[in-house]
């Protein structure tokens, strides 16, 4: 028998594409291999052992099953019993579907789906997967979406797989599974289902978003591999290989499970049938070159070619043709296999189509042509096969010959264009010049055919082309450019072309110019904005253009006197509210500039507007909340509120209350006329409304007036507020959650919290029990709050703290409550991965309130890392800055962020890059590659910088980093950047004269570090050249008198330092204090006759006290210089330990 004897070493490489489909008895789509027929034995056991199921166990036909169901009068909740038996029957014979089954599903199964438990509903889903009827599946989707949280780790993988087979969005389920894989136990079938679903996503939906999930599932399977059957093992091996996880996962990891499976297959080769062997060979097309080849060699040596029928010989030929060069037999061997194939015996269309997709040899052209003729005349091609046929005739350069023969209609033409588009777009990826030339020629022939179409057909096909992305050398958009007269289009077509063309990044310059000249009328633009949420191709480019059109129309209408401020305002509301968040932001994460310009423009117009303002109040209230999350500085809200306050009679009482609520959340300094504002608030106080929300707003107004009574020039009595506080408390006690909105209850508690923050006084302790009341009643909401619902409350607390004069006392008073609110970030709905912005909100809350919770910070870091591919540059900067202020050290996380910055440094502004370097240095995270990257990208700006604050931050960061690299890594960067250092030192030497230096604690701390470091630079190995040393002396001379005269006398000692000095006095040790400041500034050192003593403070250590910060390192080097100068010992006291030491311990540590 003929076997493989030799493999060639040809360097020739073909595209790594999977073999499409195998023939009988394996006709199913490739991704169905070992899928629907795979049995979940736990579910099966539960059925077999159930008494009710025994009625159905012996039924041999669907008719019998349905009859038994009807005769036994089962409840709707028991519908899963007959369904399970129907699944078993379909597994044996997929062809037994009939009208009776359809009627049974419509009348009995689908209507009762919502009554089933999750474990029971899985049986229905398995049946629907087998039937593949889209109308059935759509009917259960809504219920599945609403109840995902009810499915456990053994059930949810079935849902995930079901979604993948329907082509539905499944990202949200993937996020839940990612979380569950960390904590819950999964069975083999569930893990295989996850991998299979991810594989379908990668092959059918062309997405790699769940590559990390597939990798995690494979890691769990490693410990279960011996319990998997051979079919499961082969399916998983094939799917993981084809996903190429080493390229698509975030950490570029190769699944270790594949190595273990390959060893098992080698040991059990005799148990593997021909079909499975071909699947395993096929997997090697996608495996890395370093993967062991033993399995491949054993498989091909075991295949007896002469015994194969023609279909299997063709499968083998295709398989080998697509192998990498070192696994492909010599050309003569391949031709020998080919010559023994009897193509007239091959009946499977998919196999023939696959052959045409990969075979271009001239000596086989006669066979190729005969197959094309055969398929063009075939009556049994399904729609997918027809599309595939179009693609292969393009690749074979047979378009002109067969275009008329296959009778292409207008319905088929888009499909042909689609195939030609993708072939032509990725033409350079093809392995041979012959194939590239074929596609070029075919595309040219197709375009010629398009030019011959009548105008109506040209317009129709152009609509389709607009759905495709332009690319270099694109002939399709050139067709639009030449054939479509944009200015003569009917209105409906004009709007479609207008929007589509302005959403694209054009590479055709002439068409780009034409599209930029297209503009809508006001009526057309109004219709576009009203339907903006329905534009499925909406992106930031199109939103910019829509905003620009509105801005231009508004300016033009001002000139011609037709400007309608009411219409413009409401249209702007709709743009901001109806546009998805991603389309409102740039790739960096900032709101697009045209939106900012629109908001500033309309704000100015409203400020100048005379008369009433016609505002859609519903839109305005939503807009106010939305604007709060967009981080845009504008006076629009203030100007609108001020106008609305003058038209009180236009609104119902509930509308007035909502306007008042918005006003009392604003800073009064930004209102143009506070008299109007206060007059409006007084009128609201006089309303007679017996509702909880009014009592809450009335309390809020009185508090607002008392807070800002001087600015508002109002006379309000404290007892009026206290009466409302008492009434609000009573309302909260009697609050009925069944008829009232729990958000109003929360707002009431926040109003009480705001009041308690306002009245807090260090000299006076209130004992009315209000804080206990707030904490107690918060527990009524505690169980219902989660990460998402808690976010508005966090922002309210931050606003309260920003307005509180005694914030530290207030935070201390409610620390436990705030910790409880902070902990809500771990309560995520459906165990989903929360949005990055939600994580940032919680980090900001912790920063403002100085909260410390190691577990929660780890949780937030994990959530951000799970989706770091979605991080915007502005978010990266925010995370680093906030964590630096919180002193949270997470090296692997920072390494990852640093790599992202290095790889995408062009997306960061120069100021942002310097902020990153400064934040990391303060934190004590040193990354030489990152620092060099930042300085290389900012050196031109730094050489021209004249900002004192930025100069201090940057010089401090550079000196700290460079000295660290020199001492720890033996890398000297001082000379490479000496010009930058010199310029920054000149700026810093002047900065000391600015009065504001004393008002910026950390900046002053950094200045003092620079001052002291350069003062002792002569005793350190600080690589400063002569000019820099002269500039250093200037910094010291300019700073010395200012520091001694103005700053040191005004500073208070920390408790630890006072304790140290008191101890030295007690021991009668003479000492001298050098440039000492409190913990917010600088605590330097005490000098005695024998030693220099320094005290650590909170700036020196990270949040967990496990790492030293940048302040520690630079202070250590300063002390090193001081000890060398005075020839003394250096002793450092840890502040958090000193106060707990006994006198004996203190004496010992000071070596007295």
Predicted confidence at residue 998, as pLDDT, reads 58
Residue burial 35-65, b: 16+ Cβ < 10 Å; e: rest: bbebebeebeeebeeeeebebbeebeebeeb
Q: How many distinct helices (H) and strands (E) make up the chain?
A: 58, 4
Beta-bridge partners for 503: none
Q: What percent of the chain lies above the pLDDT cut of 70?
A: 90
Distance between CA atoms of 521 and 543, rounded to whole angstroms?
16
Distances from the Cα of 488 to the Cα of 483, 494, 664, angstroms: 12, 8, 53
How far is residue 1009 CA from its own chain's centroid? 39
Instruction: Indicate if the pLDDT at residue 39 is higher than 80.
Output: no
Q: What is the enclosing helix (H) or strand (E) of 1132?
A: strand 1129-1133
pLDDT number for residue 178: 85
Structure tokens at 1061: 């000095």
Question: For the segment 1053-1089, what is each residue's pLDDT rounded down to a tens digit?
Answer: 567 777 888 888 888 888 877 755 433 344 567 778 8
Instruction: Give residue-wise pLDDT tens across range 1106-1123.
Output: 888 998 898 888 888 888
Integer Cα distance of 448 and 919 in angstroms? 60
Q: What pLDDT shows up at residue 613?
A: 92
pLDDT tens track for 752-778: 999 999 998 766 677 789 999 999 999
CA dihedral 897, 902, 903, 909 (to 10 degrees): 90
Short-list 629, 562, 634, 560, CA closest to 603: 634
The pLDDT of residue 18 is 25
**229 contact partners, CB below 8 Å, separation of at least 6:** none
Least confident window among 702-711, 765-774, 927-936? 765-774
Please tell me the predicted confidence (pLDDT) of residue 445: 87
Mean pLDDT, range 642-648, rounded to an integer: 91
Mode of pairing for the β-strands spanning 1091-1095 and 1129-1133: parallel
Other beta carbons within 10 Å of 1101: 21
pLDDT in the model for residue 479: 94
* Whole-number pLDDT of residue 409: 55
Is the confidence at residue 1096, as pLDDT, over 80? no
Structure tokens at 681: 């608030």
Question: When comparing pLDDT for 794 and 1018, which is higher?
Answer: 794
> 922-959: buried (b, 16+ CB within 10 Å) or exposed (e) per residue?
bbbbbbeebbbbbbebbeeebeebeebbbbbbbbbbbb
Phi, psi (degrees; rounded to nearest 5) at 53: -70, -25
What does the alpha-carbon distance between residue 807 and residue 491 come to, in Å, rounded to a whole number? 60
Of the two residues 469 and 1097, the one the predictor is more confident about is: 469
Structure confidence at residue 1065 (pLDDT): 87
Rounded mean pLDDT of 314-321? Answer: 93
Per-residue pLDDT, 50:
58
In whole angstroms, what is the distance from residue 244 CA to residue 286 CA? 7
Quote the Cα angle for 621-627-632, to 5°.
Answer: 150
Residues 604, 563 contacting (CB under 8 angstroms) = no
| Predicted local distance difference test score (pLDDT) of residue 28 | 32
Which pLDDT tens digit goes with each residue over 587-643?
777 888 999 999 999 999 999 998 899 999 999 999 998 888 787 889 999 999 999
Q: What is the DSSP string of 119-130?
A: HHHHHHHHHHHH
Quote the pLDDT of residue 1079: 38
What average pLDDT does the structure give for the chain?
Answer: 85
What pLDDT was estimated at residue 248? 84
Question: Who wins on pLDDT, 712 or 995?
Answer: 712
**Tell me, what's the pLDDT at 831?**
62
E strand map for 982-1128: 1071-1074, 1085-1088, 1091-1095
Q: What is the pLDDT of residues 960-1015, one digit of tens each?
A: 999 999 999 999 999 899 999 999 998 888 776 656 665 677 787 788 888 888 88
Q: In Å, how far are 426, 467, 516, 521, 960 from 504, measured between CA atoms?
A: 19, 10, 11, 21, 47
Which tens digit of pLDDT belongs to each residue from 869-883?
A: 888 999 999 999 999
pTM: 0.74
Residue 12's pLDDT is what?
25
Q: Is the dihedral of CA 560, 565, 567, 573 positive or negative?
A: positive
Instruction: From 422, 464, 463, select the one nearest 443 (Cα to Cα).
Output: 422
Bigger pLDDT: 26 or 497? Answer: 497
The answer to whether 394 and 417 are in contact (CB under 8 A) is no
pLDDT for 21: 26
Instruction: For residue 211, say if its preceding peptide bond is cis, omega within 30 degrees of 0.
Output: no
- Complete edge-to-edge strand list for the sheet that includes strand 1129-1133: 1071-1074, 1085-1088, 1091-1095, 1129-1133
Question: What's residue 361's pLDDT?
Answer: 86
pLDDT range class, residue 558, cuts 50, 70, 90: very high
Nearest to 620 by CA among 597, 601, 598, 644: 644
With the CA atoms of 510, 512, 518 and 520 taken in that order, what torsion angle do they form, in degrees rounded to the nearest 10? 170
Q: Cα dist. 1111→27, 674, 921, 931, 1139 in Å?
A: 69, 46, 8, 17, 22
pLDDT the model gives residue 901: 95
pLDDT score recorded for residue 65: 85
**What tens digit of pLDDT does each residue of 846-901 get?**
999 988 888 999 999 988 988 888 889 999 999 999 999 999 999 999 999 999 99
Return the higher-pLDDT residue of 490 and 1040. Answer: 490
CA 906 → CA 871, 938, 1081, distances in Å?
Answer: 15, 11, 35
Q: What is the pLDDT of residue 993?
A: 61
Give ∠ CA 1042-1048-1051 in degrees, rounded to 5: 135
Identify the three-state secondary structure at position 1088: strand
Q: What integer pLDDT is reported at residue 1043 of this predicted model?
A: 58
DSSP state of 585: B
Tell whether the model's pLDDT for residue 1051 goes beyond 50.
no
- Better pLDDT: 1050 or 629: 629
- Residue 573: which of 592, 550, 555 has the closest Cα? 550
State the average pLDDT over residues 364-378: 88
> 475: Cβ–Cβ under 8 A, 6 or more apart, which residues?
424, 443, 444, 447
User: Any idea which of 515-519, 612-616, 942-946, 1131-1135 has the lowest mean pLDDT?
Assistant: 1131-1135
Joined together, the tokens standing for residue 901 give 């910055």
User: Is the separation of the CB atoms in 598 and 575 below 8 Å?
Assistant: yes
Residue 982 has a pLDDT of 92
């Amino acid at each position: 028998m003929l076997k493989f004897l030799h493999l060639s070493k040809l360097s020739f490489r073909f595209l790594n594409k999977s073999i499409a489909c195998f023939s009988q008895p394996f006709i199913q789509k490739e991704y169905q291999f070992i899928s629907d027929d795979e049995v979940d034995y736990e579910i099966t056991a539960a059925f077999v052992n159930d008494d009710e199921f025994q009625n159905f166990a012996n039924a041999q036909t669907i008719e019998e099953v349905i009859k038994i169901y009807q005769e036994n009068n089962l409840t709707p909740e028991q519908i899963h019993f007959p369904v399970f038996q129907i699944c078993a029957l379909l597994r044996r014979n997929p062809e037994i579907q009939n009208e009776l089954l359809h009627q049974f599903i419509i009348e009995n199964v689908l209507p009762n789906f919502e009554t089933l438990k999750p474990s029971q509903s899985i049986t229905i889903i398995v049946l629907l997967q087998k039937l593949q009827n889209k109308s059935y599946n759509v009917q259960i989707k809504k219920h599945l979406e609403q109840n995902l949280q009810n499915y456990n780790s053994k059930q949810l993988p079935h849902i995930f797989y079901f979604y993948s087979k329907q082509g539905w969005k499944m990202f949200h389920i993937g996020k839940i599974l990612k979380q569950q894989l960390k904590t819950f136990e999964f069975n083999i079938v569930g893990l295989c289902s996850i991998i299979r679903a991810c594989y379908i996503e990668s092959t059918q939906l062309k997405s790699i978003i769940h590559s990390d999930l597939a990798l995690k599932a494979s890691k769990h399977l490693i410990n279960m591999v011996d319990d998997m059957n051979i079919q499961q093992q082969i399916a998983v091996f094939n799917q993981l290989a084809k996903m190429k996880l080493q390229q698509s996962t975030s950490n570029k990891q190769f699944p270790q499970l594949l190595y273990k499976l390959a060893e098992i297959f080698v040991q059990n080769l005799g148990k593997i049938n021909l079909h499975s062997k071909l699947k395993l060979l096929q997997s090697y097309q996608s495996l890395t070159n370093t993967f062991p080849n033993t399995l491949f060699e054993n498989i091909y040596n075991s295949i007896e070619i002469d015994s194969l029928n023609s279909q299997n010989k063709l499968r083998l030929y295709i398989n080998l043709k697509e192998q990498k060069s070192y696994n492909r037999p010599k050309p003569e061997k391949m031709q020998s296999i080919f010559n023994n194939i009897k193509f007239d015996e091959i009946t499977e269309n998919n196999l023939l189509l696959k052959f045409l997709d990969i075979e271009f040899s001239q000596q086989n052209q006669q066979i190729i042509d005969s197959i094309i003729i055969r398929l063009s005349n075939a009556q049994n091609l399904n729609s997918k096969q027809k599309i595939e046929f179009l693609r292969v005739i393009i690749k074979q350069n047979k378009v002109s010959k067969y275009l008329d023969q296959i009778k292409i209609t207008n319905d088929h033409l888009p499909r042909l264009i689609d195939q030609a588009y993708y072939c032509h777009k990725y033409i350079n990826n093809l392995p041979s010049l012959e194939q590239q030339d074929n596609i070029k020629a075919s595309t040219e022939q197709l375009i010629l055919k398009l030019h011959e179409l009548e105008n109506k057909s040209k317009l129709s096909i152009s609509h389709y082309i607009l759905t495709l992305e332009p690319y270099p050398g694109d002939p399709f958009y050139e067709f639009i450019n030449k054939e479509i007269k944009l200015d003569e289009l009917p209105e409906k077509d004009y709007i479609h072309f207008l929007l589509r063309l302005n959403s694209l990044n054009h590479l055709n310059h002439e068409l780009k110019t034409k599209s930029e000249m297209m503009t809508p009328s006001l009526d057309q633009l109004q219709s576009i904005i009203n339907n903006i949420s329905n534009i499925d191709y909406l992106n930031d480019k199109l939103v910019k253009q829509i905003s620009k059109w509105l801005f231009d129309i508004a300016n033009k209408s001002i000139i011609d006197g037709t400007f309608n401020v009411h219409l413009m305002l409401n249209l702007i509301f709709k743009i901001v509210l109806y546009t998805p968040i991603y389309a409102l932001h740039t790739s960096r994460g900032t709101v697009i500039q045209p939106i900012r310009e629109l908001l500033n423009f309309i704000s100015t117009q409203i400020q100048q507007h005379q008369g009433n303002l016609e505002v859609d109040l519903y839109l305005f209230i939503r807009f106010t909340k939305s604007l709060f999350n967009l981080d845009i500085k504008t006076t629009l809200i203030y100007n609108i509120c001020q106008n609305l306050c003058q038209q009180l009679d236009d609104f119902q009482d509930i509308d007035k209350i909502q306007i008042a609520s918005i006003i009392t959340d604003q800073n009064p300094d930004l209102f143009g006329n506070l008299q109007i504002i206060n007059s409006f608030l007084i009128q609201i106080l006089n309303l007679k409304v017996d509702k909880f929300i009014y009592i809450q707003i009335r309390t809020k107004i009185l508090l607002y007036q008392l807070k800002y009574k001087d600015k508002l020039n109002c006379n309000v009595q404290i007892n009026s507020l206290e009466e409302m506080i008492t009434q609000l408390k009573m309302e909260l006690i009697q609050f009925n959650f069944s008829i009232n909105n729990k958000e109003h209850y929360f707002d009431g508690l926040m109003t009480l919290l705001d009041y308690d923050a306002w009245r807090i006084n260090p000299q006076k302790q209130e004992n009315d029990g209000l804080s206990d009341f707030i904490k107690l009643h918060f527990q009524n909401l505690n169980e219902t709050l989660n990460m998402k619902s808690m976010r508005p409350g966090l922002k309210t607390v931050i606003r309260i703290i920003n307005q509180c004069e005694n914030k530290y006392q207030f935070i201390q008073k409610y620390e436990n409550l705030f910790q409880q609110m902070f902990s809500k970030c771990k309560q995520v709905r459906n165990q989903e991965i929360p949005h990055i912005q939600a994580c940032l909100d919680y980090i900001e809350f912790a920063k403002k309130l100085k909260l410390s919770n190691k577990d929660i910070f780890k949780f937030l870091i994990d959530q951000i890392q799970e989706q770091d591919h979605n991080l915007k540059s502005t978010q990266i900067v925010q995370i680093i800055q906030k964590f630096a202020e919180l002193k949270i050290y997470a090296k692997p996380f920072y390494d990852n962020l640093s790599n992202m910055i290095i790889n995408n440094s062009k997306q960061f502004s120069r100021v942002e890059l310097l902020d990153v370097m400064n934040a990391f240095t303060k934190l004590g995270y040193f990354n030489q590659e990152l620092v060099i990257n930042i300085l290389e990208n900012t050196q031109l700006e730094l050489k021209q910088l004249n900002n004192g604050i930025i100069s201090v931050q940057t010089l401090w960061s550079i000196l700290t980093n460079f000295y660290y690299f020199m001492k720890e890594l033996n890398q000297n960067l001082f000379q490479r950047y000496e010009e930058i250092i010199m310029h920054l030192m000149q700026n810093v030497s002047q900065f000391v004269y600015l009065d504001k230096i004393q008002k910026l604690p950390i900046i002053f701390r950094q200045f003092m570090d620079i001052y002291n470091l350069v003062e002792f630079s002569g005793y350190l190995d600080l690589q400063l050249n002569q000019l820099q040393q002269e500039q250093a002396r200037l910094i010291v001379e300019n700073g010395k008198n200012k520091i001694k005269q103005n700053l040191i006398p005004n500073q208070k000692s920390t408790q630890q330092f006072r304790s140290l000095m008191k101890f030295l006095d007690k021991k009668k040790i003479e000492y001298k204090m050098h440039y000492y400041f409190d913990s917010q500034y600088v605590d330097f050192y005490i000098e005695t006759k024998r030693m220099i003593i320094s005290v650590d403070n909170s700036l020196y250590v990270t949040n967990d006290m496990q790492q030293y910060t940048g302040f520690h390192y630079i202070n250590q080097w300063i002390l090193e210089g001081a000890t060398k100068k005075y020839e003394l010992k250096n002793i450092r006291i840890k502040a958090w330990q000193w106060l707990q030491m006994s006198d004996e311990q203190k004496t010992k540590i000071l070596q007295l």
